[in-house]
Amino acid sequence: MKLACQEGLVPGRDLNEKLDNLAAWGYEGIEFWGGGLQDRVAEINAACARSPVKASTICAGYRGCPLDADAEQRRLAIEDAKVLLKVAADIGAVGLIFVPIFGGPRIPDLSPLGDPITLEKRLLVELCKVLGDAAAEAGSFLLLEPLNRYETHLLNRLDQAVEICRQTGNPKVKIMADFFHMNIEEQDMADSLRQNGEWLAHIHLADSIRWLPGYGHTDFRPGLAALAEIGFEGYMALECHVPGPPEQDLPKCAEYLRSQMP
């Protein structure tokens, strides 16, 4: 298991300084926001070439909405996602984190043909087939992210995302798990990680209040132990609020997380 941090949480005058800071503070990866990232490939590769810290993942950053009722919004999301899957491969990242939809359904109820959720899932499988092929061509992964019920109605638990992966039938379509969302939605976080481990390619870390791990009431030990049991060797990236000075809180968080690992 390798610790990573989203770029926006890290202080530094430029990417080189940010990577230097992360390396000094005990991190091995950096996660980038996808918006405009195709214009930064040379910068990222040059910075990572001189650093032990490598690109872990790309977090969304595509326009539109994959499950919008408007075909143009779907097209924007899919075309941007294809570009970012290629960028992920170009910078050596695992893949693109992909949230199908925020909020409620945007597709109308077309019963008896299908209710909105049934239609969304059918559409999502077809879109994942398209993006899975793009990921395979690029050499990266599409990473479906379940969110909690207050942020999306569709994929809330790991097993729900895995079902989409199974129906897609492409090994380049995987899932990622976010401890913050899991703390709300999963009956047993550790057991869910074990049960769905073969599909797991990335982790987000945040405490119960969406602050850095160690500031809320989430017990990270069972989940980290489960990841060790299934042999997870990927990145675990911080996606959360840093409550104090990052030059103090980020190294403290890395030390805390390593103390919770088996």
Question: Which residues are designated catalytic?
Answer: 145, 239
CB atoms within 10 A of CB 92: 15
